[in-house]
Amino acid sequence: MDQPADHPRILTGKIGVLLVNLGTPDAPDEGAVRRYLAEFLSDRRVVEIPQIVWQPILRGLVLRTRPRVSAHAYSQVWTEEGSPLAFHTAAQARALQARLGDTAIVRHAMRYQKPAMAAELDRLLADGCERILVAPLYPQYSGATTASALDAVANWIKDRRRLPALRTLPPYFDDPLMITALHKDLAAQIGALDFAPELLVLSFHGMPERTLRLGDPYHCHCQKTARLLGEAFARTHPQLKVATSFQSRFGRAKWLEPATDDVIKVQAGNGIRRMVVAAPGFSSDCLETIEELGIRGREDFEAAGGTHFAALTCLNATESGMDLIEALVRRELAGWI
Ligand SMILES: C=CC1=C(C)c2cc3[nH]c(cc4nc(cc5[nH]c(cc1n2)c(C)c5CCC(=O)O)C(CCC(=O)O)=C4C)c(C)c3C=C
Ligand SMILES: [Fe+2]
Ligand SMILES: [Fe+2]
């Protein structure tokens, strides 16, 4: 049949997978960090204070002071490949593409800054994806992370005429695949140390305590991940104590407790000399794991009398990490592939 000459060329029939992570500045300098924080901290899912009250505080105070301090922290973790969060997420997408082959087109995007979610969803559509799985790489659900990533999808939908069928990856905080992958990886890292730790601290990113009372399941998801990991370690490392804590407190409100920095100091004060810290809420290493846990955590521990310390790495694009992501993604693609 003849088509009008100006008929757009439309590709069809493909499946897309979009791995999503939080986002990071594009340089470790004050300007780039200010742009990043302005976008991130203006998200109503992240700071749940009415904008009329919050924006003057953000513009008048936070964005005048925090970017310098945070840029210094970022400069300590920056690599030739850029921000760790950016390059680990890109590596996860490349590795997943290699594992899925022609089955699906895999891309990654960031909720804040670049690669932007809308631009990557547009690219998948332009490449012929009529079915797209959006996979926020947060094992535990929270309004500030998972729901915010889905907000970005919803906003993208509003402006598009032609929409793909969409699926989203559910949280996987208690999935046996995730617990097994993490336990295996952390146990291998502990086995490779030149000391036997007495205590394993499982540190999750914090949230305002208020969100727990408002019904956000994040706290329960973290506690369950920690309990299941603790049970796995009790079977393989019966001498190892396990503690759970919440890091990265921000602002004046009460956050989930106990705070990781307090736990590190109190445990050292109680006589723990050999400690390891792991971050089972982060699918890739980032500022919060490398600088806050690896650098400041160690300083706090040693200042309080600890002698042996290691911040264990996240799953990143390791073999076990990719086994996990591939299995989760293939499961969600069931019926499509
Ligand atoms: C109100 C403030 C914040 C909430 C709520 C929050 C929740 C939250 N964040 C993550 C994961 C990450 N956060 C990261 C950095 C970061 N987080 C906040 C504030 C809140 N986070 C700030 C201000 C920053 C920037 C750094 C700083 O200035 O301290 C990162 C690292 C990004 C990177 O570039 O490496 C991650 C990852 C989760 C999972 C979460 C709620 C569950
Ligand atoms: Fe955060
Ligand atoms: Fe809870």
**CATH number (domain holding residue 105):** 3.40.50.1400
Residue 9 placed within a domain: no
Which tens digits make up the pLDDT trace of 79-108?
Answer: 999 999 999 999 999 999 999 999 999 999
**Domain contains 38:** yes
State the pLDDT at residue 3: 81
Query: pTM for the full model?
Result: 0.97
**Locate tokens 């369950």: which residue?**
224
Is 299 part of a structural domain of the chain?
Answer: yes
The reported pLDDT for the residue numbered 5 is: 86
99 and 182 part of one domain: no
Nearest residue to 204 via CA among 220, 222, 192: 222
pLDDT band at residue 158 using 50, 70 and 90 as cut-offs:
very high
Q: From the CB of 195, is ligand 1 less than 6 Å away? A: no
Does 185 share its domain with 72? no
Same domain (yes/no): 288, 301: yes
Q: Which helix (H) or strand (E) holds 118?
A: helix 117-126
Q: Which residues pair with 4 in a beta bridge?
A: none
| Residues 158 and 207 reside in one and the same domain | no
CA distance 96 to 98: 5
Residue 271 has a pLDDT of: 98
Amino acid type, 14: K
Ligand 1 nearest atom to the CA of residue 292, by list position:
29
Query: CA torsion 190→194→198→201, rounded to 10°?
Result: -50
Shared domain for 160 and 180, answered yes or no, is: no
Asked if residue 145 has pLDDT above 90, the reply is yes
Residue 221 structural domain: 176-311
Ligand in nearest proximity to the CA of 252 = 1
Return the minimum-mean-pLDDT range out of 3-12, 243-252, 271-280.
3-12
* Type of residue found at 128: G
- For residues 233 and 201, is the Cβ–Cβ distance under 8 A? no
159: in domain? yes
Tokens 């007495």 identify what position? 198
- Asked which of 149, 172, 195 is the last residue of a domain, the reply is 172
| 205 carries a ligand binding annotation | yes
**The pLDDT of residue 176 is above 80:** yes
Contacts of 133 (CB under 8 A, 6+ apart): 15, 16, 17, 18, 104, 166, 167, 168, 169, 329, 332, 333, 336
Average pLDDT of the segment spanning 35-60: 98
Neighbouring C-beta atoms of residue 74, cutoff 10 Å:
25
Backbone angles phi, psi at 79, to 5 degrees: -125, 175
Q: Which residues contact 100 (CB under 8 A, 6 or more apart)?
A: 17, 106, 326, 329, 330
Mark whether 145 and 180 lie in a shared domain. Answer: no
User: Is 183 known as a binding-site position?
Assistant: no
What is the mean predicted confidence (pLDDT) over 37-58? 98
Out of 288, 289, 291, 296, mutate this one to test ligand 1's pocket (max ligand atoms within 8 Å of CB): namely: 288
In tens, the pLDDT along 117-130 reads 999 999 999 999 99
User: Is residue 226's pLDDT more than 90?
Assistant: yes
| The pLDDT of residue 12 | 84
| Count of structural domains, the chain | 2
216 shares a domain with 164 = no
pLDDT beyond 70 at 1:
no
Q: Is 218 helix (H, G, I), strand (E, B) or coil?
A: helix
From 195, 171, 24, select the one nearest 110 (Cα to Cα). Answer: 24
Q: How far is the CA of 200 from the centre of ligand 3 (A)?
A: 21
More confident: 50 or 10 = 50
The alpha carbon dihedral of 172, 178, 183, 188 has a sign of negative
Cβ proximity of 219 and 176 under 8 Å: no
281 lines ligand 1 (CB under 6 A): yes
**Mean pLDDT calculated for residue range 210-236:** 98
Q: Which protein residue's CA is at the shortest distance from atom 26 of ligand 1? A: 70
Residue 154 and residue 133 share a domain: yes
User: Is position 334 within any domain?
Assistant: no
The rounded Å distance from CA 288 to ligand 2 centre is 8
Would you say residue 248 has pLDDT above 70?
A: yes
The residue out of 172, 205, 236 marking a domain boundary is 172
Q: Which of 146, 172, 198 is the last residue of a domain?
A: 172
Q: What is the band of 11 on the pLDDT scale with cuts at 50, 70, 90?
A: confident
Same domain assignment for residues 161 and 188:
no
Claim to verify: residue 168 and residue 92 sit in the same structural domain:
yes
Rounded Cα gap, residues 107 and 199, in angstroms: 38
Sheet holding 241-247, edge to edge: 241-247, 199-205, 274-278, 308-311
Cβ atoms of 76 and 291 within 8 Å: the answer is yes
Whether 165 and 21 map to the same domain: the answer is yes
Both tokens of 173, joined, read 């905080």
Q: Is 144 within 8 Å of 278 (Cβ atoms)?
A: no
Q: Are residues 42 and 146 in the same domain?
A: yes
Q: Over the chain, what is the mean pLDDT?
A: 97
| Residue 335 maps to a domain | no
Asked if residue 317 belongs to a domain, the reply is: no
The answer to whether position 5 is within a domain reads no
